[in-house]
Amino acid sequence: MTENRFPLIRMMGEDNLLVEFEAEVSREVSAKVRRLMSSLEQKRPDGYRMALPAYRSLLVYYDPLIVDDDRMRAGVRAALAEADEVNAAEGRLFRLPTVYGGEYGPDVARVAALAGISAQEVVNTAAKQKLPVYFLGFICSQAYLGEVPKTLQAPRHASPRPLMPGGSFGFGGPQANILAVDSPSGLNYVGRTFVKVFDPERTPPTAFRPGDFVQCPTVDVAAAREAGKRPMEDFIEPFCGR
């Protein structure tokens, strides 16, 4: 059997190709994706239009009227060859005041029971995490977060809730998210921030970028609602490690 050697470049359609890195969700692999994206943005090979990152891959769009498949592959390989020398944008830390439990975090008790710990331990653990943003997707630039500690990795609900409010913060296995807008979801939601993480009136509509980190410190309801009156940029801090 032939062993896959990464990165792999696969044609996906008439105007795009997919670059795949190692099959794992990690900061290291995410950094490779982001460095390649930065390299492509800097080199701008002929016909290049845009690139969309995911956990371990980068979807590269190009104009087939300007460049053929082979030349685009060559352009991507050239960008890969220089990607290790590229400095991707430094990650920032978003500390978003969050109210936990009750109507704002209906799954605190479920996560606690599955982990065999107290509800307060769930809140304390969740509030201190600094979770990496791997990519944006799904509905309204929702941030996909990772590195959820084992104690919080409760499985998703068998039947998703039909609607959870925007700003809800929750976990499903090793993944986490903050809902960008009111959405259906099967994750376990333990808290909610009232900071608007998606605003169609701004460009771009979210301040999150792949490579950023998110922390949801616990506050009371009044403080959480007061924070919701401020733009999410007000809650950015330099990230200095975990």
pTM of the model: 0.90
Domains of the chain: 8-83 (3.30.1360.40), 92-238 (2.40.100.10)
Question: Which ranges constitute the DSSP H helices of the chain?
Answer: 27-43, 69-83, 108-115, 119-128, 221-227
Residue among 112, 124, 98, 79 nearest 179 (CA): 98
Q: Please state whether beta strands 213-215 and 92-95 pair in parallel, antiparallel, or not at all (unpaired).
A: parallel
**Rounded Cα–Cα distance for residues 181 and 166 (Å):** 4
What are the pLDDT digits (tens) for 220-230? Answer: 999 999 999 99
- CA angle 205-209-212, nearest 5°? 135
**% residues pLDDT > 90 (the chain):** 89
What are the pLDDT digits (tens) for 66-106? Answer: 999 999 999 999 999 999 887 766 789 999 999 999 999 99
**Rounded Cα–Cα distance for residues 83 and 36 (Å):** 5
Give the 3-state secondary structure of residue 71: helix
Task: Look at residue 90 in the predicted model and tell me its pLDDT.
Answer: 75
